[in-house]
A and B are shown apart, each in its own frame.
Chain A
Amino acid sequence: DAGVTQSPTHLIKTRGQQVTLRCSPKSGHDTVSWYQQALGQGPQFIFQYYEEEERQRGNFPDRFSGHQFPNYSSELNVNALLLGDSALYLCASSPRGSYGYTFGSGTRLTVV
Chain B
Amino acid sequence: GIQVEQSPPDLILQEGANSTLRCNFSDSVNNLQWFHQNPWGQLINLFYIPSGTKQNGRLSATTVATERYSLLYISSSQTTDSGVYFCAVPSDSGNTGKLIFGQGTTLQVKP
Contacts and interface: CB of A to CB of B under 8 A. Distances in A.
A77 B3 CA distance: 28
Nearest to A43: B101
Contacts of A35: 99
A56 B104 CA distance: 24
A92 B48 CA distance: 16
A94 B40 contact: no
Task: Give the interface size class of chain A.
Answer: 20 to 34
A23 interface: no
B69 to A, nearest CB: 17
21 contacts: A35-B99, A41-B103, A42-B103, A43-B86, A43-B99, A45-B97, A45-B98, A45-B99, A58-B98, A88-B41, A97-B96, A99-B33, A99-B48, A100-B45, A101-B33, A101-B45, A101-B99, A103-B45, A104-B42, A105-B42, A108-B41
A33 interface: yes
B40 A105 contact: yes
Nearest to B48: A99
B100 to A, nearest CB: 8
Contact of A48 (B33, B41, B98): B98
A92 B40 CA distance: 15
Given A48-B97, A97-B96, 19 more contacts: A41-B103, A42-B88, A42-B104, A43-B86, A44-B101, A45-B98, A58-B98, A88-B41, A90-B41, A92-B43, A99-B96, A101-B33, A101-B45, A101-B99, A103-B35, A104-B42, A105-B41, A105-B42, A106-B42
Nearest to B33: A99
B43 A98 contact: no
Contacts of A100: 45, 48
